[in-house]
Amino acid sequence: MRVDVVTIFPDYLAPLQLSLIGRAQRLGLLDLHVHDLRGWTEDRHRTVDDTPAGGGAGMVMLPEPWGRALDAVHRCEGPDGPVGPLPPAGDGAEPPLLLVPSPSGRPLDQSTAHALAAEPRLVVACGRYEGIDERVLVDAAQRYRVQPFSLGDYVLNGGEVAALALVEAVGRLLPGVVGNPDSLLEESHEQGLLEHPVYTRPPRWRDLDVPDVLLSGHHGQVARWRREQGLRRTARRRPDLLAALVARDPAALDAAD
């Protein structure tokens, strides 16, 4: 998968060189390119913002640098020309997805992360200030599938943290990125529930014991305990998830009886 991120703070994305996502890039599983939007400005101050039309507080990101950036990135180019290999274009390939972090986007969830992991390429446009001039997204829709997404119902200073979260959530689903793919299946949100509590050695720590069942060696009982604990935790912390699961599949909880 190829991912291009456009931002005025490329250094914000540096942590993506670490840990599993960094390793995925070194193994060629993920082809990540981070671009400085200011590379597409044409004035000597490298201006990317101006006052809002209609007045009001804050600044709005200018359409010109964004338009040039998204045109170039669409061709797999950075400000100085081509960057990285072109991704394979299948027959009738769809336009690339342009993901736009925004508090007014649809909240990112695990099923979206899976859908995005199946894409050959993603482009992420990180806004700052009061956001990007709306015409940029209207124009981009001619050559991208534009998808605003939100990290949650709160406001960040910029889209970079959302881009980090997106690349990590999607990148870890790419084949080969996580060593044991089974660990992906058991995680919170994969089956619509939260994961059960987890423990490791030692069996007793500060007078707190690992639950006996986990040390019993009885796989069936361990599986039942985990499912029950996952259900209890979901009911306590996220009853909305439980309700949504039952609405989707009224028989979903039967196995827990």
Known binding-site residues for S-adenosyl-L-methionine equal: 127, 151-156
Smallest separation, CB 5 to ligand SAM (Å): 12
State the residues that interact with ligand SAM by CB under 6 A.
101-104, 126-128, 130-131, 150-152, 154-159, 162
Smallest separation, CB 92 to ligand SAM (Å): 31
Asked if 123 and 73 touch (Cβ cutoff 8 Å), the reply is yes
Q: What are phi and psi of 213, to 5 degrees?
A: -55, -30
Q: Which residues are annotated as a binding site?
A: 127, 151-156
- Closer residue to ligand SAM in complex, CB, 127/171: 127
Smallest separation, CB 46 to ligand SAM (Å): 19
Distance between CA atoms of residues 243 and 245, nearest Å: 5
Which position's Cβ is nearest ligand SAM?
Answer: 127
Q: Where are the alpha helices (DSSP H) in the chain?
A: 19-26, 63-74, 110-117, 134-140, 160-171, 182-185, 212-215, 219-237, 239-248
Q: Pick from 71, 87, 89, 73: which is nearest to 34 by CA?
A: 73
Smallest separation, CB 100 to ligand SAM (Å): 7
- Closer residue to ligand SAM in complex, CB, 150/234: 150
The b-or-e profile of 4-38 (16+ CB within 10 A means b, else e) is bbbbbbbebbeebeeeebbebbeeebbbbbbbbbb
DSSP per-residue codes, 138-172: HHHTTTSEEEEEESSSS--SSSHHHHHHHHHHHHT
Smallest separation, CB 36 to ligand SAM (Å): 16
- Closer residue to ligand SAM in complex, CB, 3/177: 3
Smallest separation, CB 160 to ligand SAM (Å): 8
Distance between CA atoms of residues 152 and 154, nearest Å: 6
Distance between CA atoms of residues 90 and 117, nearest Å: 16
